[in-house]
Structure formats: C-alpha cells, structure tokens
A and B are shown apart, each in its own frame.
Chain A
Amino acid sequence: MKKIFTLLYQKIIRLELISIGFLGIIIFFSCKTYEIKLDNPIDAIADSIAGVFPPALTMHPLTQTVSNGDSITIGTYIIDHDTTLAGVHAHITYNAELIQLDTILPGVLLTNNGANTPLFTYTVVFGTIDIFAWYLGGEGALSYVTETGHIAELYFTALNSGETLVEYDTTQCELVTPLDEIISIQGIRNASITIQ
C-alpha cells in the first residue's frame, strides 16, 4: 500500500513539474500589459486629449492606406457644438492628382435619420469641395440640431501613389444657428490618405 502511495506521489510530482514548466513558459511569454490609444475623431474626449476642443469639425477615419484604384470613404463630422446648429458650410481641400471625388452623400445629422429634408448642396472644383447643408426654418418642423453628428460622406477613388490630406479650410468653414449667428469652430481634425 505504501509503495502504491510512493509511486502515486512520484507520478504527481512528475505531472506537477511538467505543468509548472508548461504554465511558466506560457505566462512568461504572454504576461505583458498593452497600451491603448483611443483616438476616434468622433469621440469628444479623444479629441480633447488630442488638443482639439469642441465645437470641432473632424473626419473619420483619421488615416487610411489604400492601393491604386481603391475606393476611399471619408465621413465629415461636427463634434459637440453644444448649441443650436441650423447650417453648415464645409470647405474641404485635397490633392486632386492623387484622389478623385466620386460622390457626396448627406449625413444623418441634419436629415435626422431621414425624418427631415435639409437643403444639401455641394460644389466641386479641382481639389476643393464646398458642402452646404442647412434648414430653412419652417415653423413647427425641426430647424436645428444640438448634438454630435454626421454632416456628409465623401467617396473618392485613388488615382496615383502618394500621400494626401483631405482637410478643412477653417477660414472658409462656417457653422450657423437658426438666427444666422456664427458658431465659432474651435478645432479641426483632417484625414490623411496613403496610396501605395
């Protein structure tokens, strides 16, 4: 009986040694802490950490890498304007030799998820886009918004290899209230595109 216990104990010791070694190796190689970078341009907190304070105009995603001929989608957003917003003029520039604009679609902010129909127009001149979106202020209808939201979605096609910024020109961008008062833009975040 004693010999059985001794043999059993020797087996347990052997198993324990194997387990300890195995577990030790796993833990040694996988036991590390990760750092996170929460930098979504639609996140007002992340923007504040990046030094961009609201109300701000941002683009999502901030960076993307594509190949020649690929389509590129960039969303334009207004962040935490915290007041009544009735109209937007976004003046956007980009390198037209590298990317070509295909189309622009209105975002869900001013359409109130399709419930309203704001006036939405845009003009495209080689390398520049002007987007205008505003309410006409009909009585009883929603004539302003107060929250973070999507202004427009820009669709491009990559033409040549290189790197370009799709950026807001703050000197010409404008946000207005229903009373046509200017809302001061405190910050912008542009998009960077690398075409391989």
Chain B
Amino acid sequence: MTLRYKVLIIYITFFSTIKSADYTGSIAFIDVVMDSASIVQYGELFSSMSSQLQGTPQMRVIDPEIVLSVVGQYTDFDDPERQIPDREIIISIGQELSADYVMYAGTKVGQYGSILTGEIISTRSGGAISTIQINILDVINALEAESNIASWALIGEEPPYELMQPRRDLFPKNPKDIKEDKTPFGALWRSTVAPGWGQFYSNKRLPGFAFPSVEAVLFGVLFFNFTQYSSAVKSLQESSKLYDKETDPDEVLRLRKETIGYYNAHKSYNKAMINNGIMIGTVWAINAIHAYVAGPRPQKFIHGPEPYRRK
C-alpha cells in the first residue's frame, strides 16, 4: 500500500515538474512614455521585433494594448514628468502579463532618430538579461534585412552572416551571460526549509501550493496515527494493569485478548507513523529537487536557434 502511494507521489511530482517547465517564452515591452497615440508607431517597432523573433517560435510579443492597460494601473499617464517605475514593479507588471521577459525602456529623440534604450529582465528570476539600445532606424533596416533573409530562404540558400547579425545582437547569445538575481540554489534551500517556498520563489504557483498541501495532508495523517498510537498505548497500559490484578478466570482471558489487541494496534500505528515519516521525507526531498530543477535559470536560445557560428 505504502509503495503504491510512493509511486503515485513520485509520478505526480515528475508530472508536475514536466507540466510546470515554463519554456514558452513571451516578452512584454514596457515604456512609460508610450501612450495610445504612439502605439501605432510602437506597433511598427513591435512587429519588427516580432518578425526578428520569428526564428524562435516559442517567443511571443505581448500585445502593446494589453501592456498599456496594465502599466496604466501603476503609472499616471497624465503626469508629464512620470518616471520609469521601480524594477520590482516592472517585474510585477511582467508577471501580471504572464510574460517571461520584460523590456522596459524610454525613448530619446536624437539627431539620427529615436533611440529606444532599455533593459531586458527575466520576470521569473528578476535577473538582467541585457541592456540594449535600439535605434528605430535600425529596426527599419532590420525589416529590410528580414526581407532579404526571406529571399535567401526562398532560393534555398543560407543568408549571409551580416544579415543575421542584427537578429543575433538583440538578445545575449549565451545563457551564462544572463545575470540572475534568483538562482536554482536559492529555490533549493528555500524548499528545503519549507516545502513550496522555493517554488513560489521561482513563480511556480501550482507546485508551490501543491507541495505544502501534500505535506499538510501527510502531516495530518501522521497526527491522526499519532493520536491513535497514543490512545492504544494508554489503553494498553491500563488493560495490562487490569489483567495483572484480575482474579476472575473469564475476565482474565477477556483482558488478555483486549491487551493483545491494544498491543497489536500500538505496533501497527507505530509502523504507520514510521512509514508516514518516510513518505513526508520523500515528498520533502522531491519538493527540494523539484525546486532546484524548476528553479529560475537562464532560458536557452531565447533568440532562436543560432543561425551561424560567430565569426
């Protein structure tokens, strides 16, 4: 019976690990100076960036209208001197938008066009992925480059590296370049201290609630077994004393049977408590491993497959 439970727990845990693996990337662009009027202009920028990200089908750019509605809850758009919100608020906005990455920025109108300056951060880890500057004119160039890339693809040839480079420069190429504020070890120690803590730290809410719930149920069962064990021990001691004192032969036999019953009960509840403890420990360990495995870490290939080796 216990083995069946263990198998079930292991299955559920690994199933939830697979289910909770969050590799469908999405990015939200947040700019406090943007407004409804500028959405058209930004829309062009976003669609350009989206086309740059087409090589990575798992990357999705979140609709700027939706982003604007959420940002509006944190920023007063009527304030002409509004500032970029704190980094934590930016992350919260990203999480509210269910975005994996957030790029927040401000635009500066320069001599050669508008420069979008900003930072890409992971909403899962809070770590900075990249600080970038994009010249909107470059984006227009990038659109042209994308058309060229598509042309090369149509004739079945690999496009030149120079065409691919702007695409490559948008995001860091190596996950190790991503600076993580949150780490898998951070998730590990938190979940080791308290089941689910590390999962919440990694923004994995479902397992974050599931592990402490399972542990709570197991602790409930343990507490039930403990109360039954204590009751059996108390009855065993009382019944044993009565048996020793009893002088009526029939009553002696009855008390003997009763005492043996309590003895067996206290042994079986004791065994149940030990098995329960093993199960609690197993779930606890699985929870810690899960926290580490599903912990925040740089996502590989966020910019799509490497088109070429770097020259």
Contacts and interface: CB of A to CB of B under 8 A. Distances in A.
Contacts of A13: 194, 196-197, 212
Interface in A22-42: 23, 26-27, 30-34, 36, 38-40, 42
A43 B252 contact: yes
Contacts of B263: 34, 36
Main secondary structure of the interface of B (DSSP, over half): helix
B194 A17 contact: yes
B309 to A, nearest CB: 44
Contact of B249 (A9, A20, A147): A147
Nearest to A149: B249
Given A9-B200, A16-B194, A19-B219, A42 B256 contact: no
B200 A42 contact: no
B270 A26 contact: no
A150 interface: yes
A40 to B, nearest CB: 5
A104 to B, nearest CB: 16
Interface in B248-299: 248-249, 252-253, 256, 259-260, 263, 266-267, 270, 273-274, 277
Interface stretch (B6-14, B116-124, B228-236): B228-236
Given A13-B194, A33-B266, A38-B259, A26 B226 contact: yes
A60 B267 CA distance: 29
B92 interface: yes
B63 interface: no
Contacts of B148: none
Nearest to B255: A40
A42 B230 contact: no
B38 to A, nearest CB: 29
B240 A38 contact: yes
Contact of B270 (A12, A31, A60, A149): A31
A31 B256 contact: no
A36 B240 CA distance: 8
A31 B273 contact: yes
Contacts of A16: 194-195, 212, 215-216
A31 B274 CA distance: 9
Interface in A43-83: 43, 45-46, 60-61, 75, 77
A42 B246 contact: yes
B229 A31 contact: yes
B43 to A, nearest CB: 29
Nearest to B96: A2
A148 interface: yes
Contact of A38 (B195, B200, B243): B243
Contact of B252 (A26, A32, A42, A75): A42
B51 to A, nearest CB: 34
A148 B250 CA distance: 9
B156 to A, nearest CB: 50
B247 interface: yes
Contacts of A149: 249
A27 B197 contact: no
A34 B266 CA distance: 8
B275 to A, nearest CB: 12
A23 B243 CA distance: 33
Contact of B246 (A2, A12, A40, A148): A40
A23 B259 contact: no
B222 A27 contact: yes
B244 interface: yes
B197 A150 contact: no
Nearest to B226: A27
Contacts of A39: 244
**Which of B92, B215, B236, B252 has the most chain A CB atoms inside 10 A of its CB?**
B252
B249 A42 contact: yes
A2 B92 contact: yes
A126 to B, nearest CB: 28
Contact of A148 (B215, B222, B249, B259): B249
26 contacts: A2-B92, A6-B200, A9-B208, A13-B196, A17-B193, A20-B219, A23-B226, A27-B222, A31-B270, A32-B270, A33-B267, A34-B233, A34-B237, A36-B236, A36-B240, A40-B244, A40-B256, A42-B247, A42-B248, A43-B249, A43-B252, A43-B253, A75-B247, A148-B249, A149-B249, A150-B247
Given A34-B236, A38-B243, 14 more contacts: A9-B200, A13-B194, A16-B194, A16-B215, A16-B216, A23-B222, A26-B226, A31-B226, A31-B274, A34-B237, A38-B240, A38-B256, A40-B256, A75-B247
Closest A-B pairs by Cβ, 10 of them: A148-B249, A13-B194, A43-B252, A42-B252, A36-B263, A33-B270, A40-B252, A42-B249, A33-B267, A60-B247
